Structure 1
C-alpha cells in the first residue's frame, strides 16, 4: 500500500481561506479509496489543533528545532477518517483569526519561521517515521510546504541516500512566500542551498522556488495553467525554472467532492434538485432573492459571485459591467471579501440598487451553497486562474459559469456557441480577451440563452452531467507517486 504524507496549511472543513483547503480535504480520502494510505501534516492553528479528534502524542520535539515547546500529535479528521499530524507550537501557531496575517491584514513577520517549522517537521517524519509508518512520498502544497522539499533533499545530501519521493503542487503561483535573505539562517539548510540553483530569488528567499527546484515531480491544478506558468505573462518570475522542468510538470484538474457539493443531497439548500427535476432550483432562487432582499422576480437572470474580492479574480469587470447587467434586467448576489476599495464599490452598488444587487462581505460556507444553488449564472472572470473551484460547483448545481478562458476555467467550461449547443456540449459562457467588451459579449449570450428556455434547460442539464471527480484526479496522482516512491 502506497504511503503518502500531504503537507499543507489548510484543511476543509476545519480551516479554509480558499480552494487549497477543499483540495487537501478531498484528495486524501479519494486516494484512500484507491488503496493509498494518505495522511496529512498540519500546523497547529487553533481551528486545526482543536478540530482533529482522538489526538495522541507522537513525539516531543521541544528544542529539536531551536524552539519550544514543539510537540507532534496524531489524530483523525472528523468525518473523513484521514489520519492527521498536528504540530503543536503555540508560539508560532496559537493566534486568533487568519492563519497568515494579523487583524490589520498584515502578514505575520515570522511567517518564514512558522512555515519553515512545518517543512522541517515534514522532513523529520519522512526520515524517522511514526512508529511503523513512514511515508514513501511527501506531497507538499503551495508555498507553505516549499521548505519541506528542500529539507528532505538536504537530508538526502547529508545521508547519501533517498529519504522519500517528493511531489510539489502549485495551487497559485502568485503567492510565493518570499522573505528577506536573513530568513535563510532559520531554515536549517546547508549554506549552498542559498544560490540561484536553490532558494535564492532576486537576493531573497523564496519558499515557492524551494518546492519547484527540489521536488522530484511538480504538479499544478489544471493542464492549461501548467502550460501558462511556463511563459513570462503568468510565470511570476519563475517561468524559466518551470520551463526547464517542463518534463517534470503535470497539470491535474481539481475535482469536486459530491458528498459536499451536490444539489440532490445538499442539506443546506431551501430545496433539493437534480438534472432530471430542476423544480427545486426555482425554489432555491426565490429563497436566495428573499435572503438578499432582492425583488422576487421569475424573469431575467440572477447572477452570483462567491470569491475573494481581488484584482486576480477579475471583479473589476463585474463592477464595470453592472450598468449593462441592470439595464438587461439582471440581479446580482455577491459573497466575498478582500480589497477594501472593491468591497466599498460593491456595497455602494447594492445601496443604490437594493432590489437588484445584494452584497455580503465575509465568507460563509453555508451561504455559498445557497447562493450557487439559487443563482442562474456564476461569474468567474478571473484575470488568471490556476484551476478554480466555484465554476465546478456552479456546473454541479446547474448554475452556468461565465468565465475568462484561462487556466482551469478553459479546461472546464464549454462556451454556448451555436455549434456547441447543437452538439449538446455547451455548459457556460467564456471570453478570450480580459476586457469589458469580451465580458459584456459573454453576458449578452447568457441573456440570449435565457430567452430560449428549452435551450437554457438543455445547457443546465449538460452542465450537471459533467464529472470532475476526485477519484479521477487521485488515480493520476497515484501514477506520479509510483514514479518517485522510496
Structure 2
C-alpha cells in the first residue's frame, strides 16, 4: 500500500511508516508459519529434503556401508580462518545410521583459540532410530536436524547431490514400504489406467487444476499401466509407463519421484516441443542432470531413454541453444551510460553477445545525475518501488531505455543518483548535505555510511524492479561488490526467498577485481533487512566488519572471474585479498572465463579509430605507419616522446587503472 494513502488513513506519516514496517514483519511471520507447516507435513508424509552444512549450499557428502543393514553418512565440512592464510579445519558433523541407532556428532568452533588447537566434541546417541524427532544445538555455527528415521531405511534411498542431502524418510508405519530396486512384475499386458489409477497420478501432482495450470495433460492417451515394468516408471516417446505397484505408495512420495520429468506430452505440442518445455521446467526448478541421474541410477524414478538422459547431462555443460534464457544483469556501470572502468565495457559486450545467441537480456543500473536522459532516450516507466533502508522507507522510480538493442532499466533516487560510488570523494559530503541527508560532523563516517546506503538502495531498487516489471529472470547476473547484498537477500530474506518471480532464478556473481570488496562497519548491517545470523565467518563477517564482495561469493550459485589463471590465483594469499578460503569453499562453482573480444568492433580492417586500416596482408608496414602517426599525436597532446624517432623502440599503451595488484 502506498505511504500517502496510509498517511491519510492513519493521520500521520510516522504512523504510516510504523504500520508498513509492522505489516512487512507480519507478512514475513506468516511466510515462516507457512514454511513450518509445509515442513511438518512433508516430515509426516515421510519425505524430507534436508539442507545441511553451514551454508545453504550444503556440504560434501560421502556414503559408505558400515554393515549389511546400516549406512554411515560422513558430512565433511571444512571451515577456514579468513583471517589467516592457513587452511585450517574448524569443525565438522557426522551422522551414523545403523541397526543399533543413530549417532550425531559435531565439532564446535573454539572461539578463544583461533586457529583452534583442539575441538570440543558433542555426541547425541539414539538407541531407537524411529524415535528421533529433534536434534539441535545453537552455537554460532549451528545446525538443526529434525528427522524421523525408520531403521530399515535402505541405502539406495540415501544419496547426496552437490547442493543438498536428500533423505526419503519413512514414518514408522508397517503399511508403508520403500520402493525396491526392482518392482514386482507380472506377465499381464499393458493397459490404459482405470479411473482410480488416473486419479492417484493426478493427486500426486496436486490436482487436475494444478496440472492444467502447468499445461500438462495426463490422460489415457499418454499414460500406460505396465505390470511387466521392472522400474517404478519409464518414459518412451512421451508416453508414461508405470508399474501398478508404484501407485500404492503415498501420493507425496509419487510427487517427489515424478515431478519435473518428461512424464507426458504437453497439451498442444509435439514431442520435441514438449521436451524443450520440459527442459525449461527442469532448469527453472533446478532439477538438472544430477537429479535425473540420481533417480535413474537408483531405479527409484523414471528410467529415461539414453539420448534424453545424455541431453540432460550435457545441459550442465552447455545450456546454449536448448532454450532461450531470461537474463537480468545488475551492475553499477553500464556501457555508454555510466563508466568508471572496464566493468562498463564488459556489460555492454557481454549483453550484446548473449542477445546474439538468442537470449532475452536486460540490465539494471542506477540513473545517475551525470547521465544525459535526452541523449539516451531514457523514459519514465511510471512505476516506482518501495525501498527500505533500515526503518526508513523511501522509493525508487524506474526508467527505461534501449542501448544498441539492450534493454536497460534505471532506478532513481535524488540522493543515491548523485554520483557513481558515493562516499569515495570529499565532495560527496556536500552533495549529501544539499540533498537533505542528515550528515554528521564526522565527514569520514558520513561518507562511509553514504556508500553503504547506496549499495542497500541498489539492492532494494533492483529486486523491486524485477518484481514490479515482471521480468521473471532465469538468471540474475551480479557484478562486483555493489551487488553482493542482492545475492545475500535472495537467499536470506523471506520476502525474496518466497517470491515466485525471484526464488527460481539462478545467481551468478562475477568478480572483476578482488581488490575492491566493499568493507563496512558491522553496525550498518541493521540497514540491510538481513539479520545478525549472517554476521558469521562463513557468511558476511570479515575481520569484525562486513564484506559485500564476500556476500556475493558466499550466496551466489556460481562465481566467475575474468580468467582461469586469475580464478586459481585468488584461491591463495596474497592474491586472495583475505578471501581465498571463501573462494576455495566454492569448489567447482568457481569458474574463470576470459573476457571476450568483439571482432566486429576491434577489427583493423574497419576500425575508424586507427590512422591506417589493414588486413592480414601488409600488417608490418601498416602497423609501423600507425605507430608513427600515434607518436606524432602524442607529442601534440604534450607527451614527452623522444626525438629523433626510434621506429623500432616499443610503444605500449594501456587503458586501465594502476592498482597494487
TM-score scaled by length of structure 1: 0.58
Corresponding residue to 1:114 among 424, 437, 454: 454
Q: Who wins on radius of gyration, i.e. which is larger?
A: 2
CA deviations on 1:250-288 (whole Å, 9 max, x unpaired) are 111101123332222221222222332324322321211
Deviations 1:384-439 (A, max 9, x none): 4xxxxxxxxxxxxxxxxxxxxxxxxxxxxxxxxxxxxxxxxxxxxxxxxxxxxxxx
Please, which of 634, 646, 649 is the counterpart of residue 292 of structure 1? Answer: 634
Aligned to 2:331: 8
The count of residues paired between Structure 1 and Structure 2 equals: 308
CA drift at 1:119: 1.8
1:12: how far off? 1.9
Displacement after TM superposition at 1:149 (Å): 0.6
Q: Does 1:130 align with 2:478?
A: no
Compared with structure 1, are the counterparts of its residues 242 and 101 closer, same or farther at alpha carbon in structure 2 (3 Å cutoff)?
same
| Residue 139 (structure 1) aligned to one of 477, 488, 500 | 477
Conserved in 2, the CA contact under 8 Å of 1:230 and 1:239?
Answer: yes
Change beyond 3 A, Cα 1:215–1:194 = same
1:44-123 mapped onto 2 (5 Å cutoff)? 44-48=367-371, 50=373, 52-57=376-381, 59-61=383-385, 65=389, 66-77=392-403, 80-95=404-419, 101-102=424-425, 108-109=447-448, 110-123=450-463
| Bigger Cα displacement from structure 2, 240-249 vs 151-160 | 151-160
Query: What are the superposed Cα offsets for residues 26-84 of structure 1, whole Å, 9 maximum, x if unpaired?
Result: 1011001111111111012234463642423252125555354521112212xx21001
Question: In structure 2, which of residues 625, 639, 654 is the aligned counterpart of residue 306 of structure 1?
Answer: 654
Higher helix share: 1
Separation in structure 2 between the aligned mates of residue 67 and residue 104 of structure 1, nearest angstrom: 26
Q: How far apart, CA to CA, are the structure 1 residues paired with 2:659 and 2:325? A: 41
CA distance in 2, matches of 1:33, 1:74: 21
Structure 1 residue 102: deviation in Å?
Answer: 2.2
Report the Cα distance in structure 2 between the residues aligned to 1:93 and 1:104, rounded to whole angstroms: 14
> Following TM superposition, by how much is the alpha carbon of 1:98 offset from its aligned partner in structure 2, in angstroms?
7.0
What runs of 5+ residues in structure 1 fail to find an aligned partner?
313-383, 385-486
Choose 43-52 or 164-173, whichever is displaced more: 43-52
The match for 2:223 is none
Per-residue CA deviation, residues 131-179 of structure 1 (Å, 9 max, x unaligned), is 4x32121110111111111121124575297342101011111110001
Q: Where does 1:117-196 land on structure 2 (aligned, <5 Å)?
A: 117-126=457-466, 128-131=467-470, 133-155=471-493, 159=498, 162-196=503-537
Is 1:214 aligned with 2:562? no
Matches within 5 A, 1:308-457: 308=656, 310-312=658-660, 384=661
Residues of 2 paired with 1:29 and 1:63: CA distance?
A: 30
CA distance in structure 2 between the aligned counterparts of 1:62 and 1:119, rounded to whole angstroms:
12
| DSSP-derived class of the 1:71 partner | strand
Contact 2:561 2:567 in 1 (8 A): yes
SS in 2 for 1:112: helix
Q: State the secondary structure of the residue aligned to 2:455.
A: helix
Report the more deviating stretch, 200-209 or 251-260.
Answer: 251-260
Asked whether the 8 Å contact 1:76–1:82 carries over to 2, the reply is yes
Aligned counterpart, 1:25: 348
Contact 2:491 2:555 in 1 (8 A): yes
Worse overlay, 84-93 or 47-56? 47-56
2:571 aligned partner: 230
Kindly report the root-mean-square deviation, in angstroms, between the aligned alpha carbons of the 2 structures: 2.6
In the alignment, the residues of structure 1 paired with residue 411 and residue 460 of structure 2 have an alpha-carbon distance, to the nearest angstrom, of: 11
Following the alignment from structure 2 to structure 1, what is the Cα–Cα distance between the partners of residues 388 and 428? 31
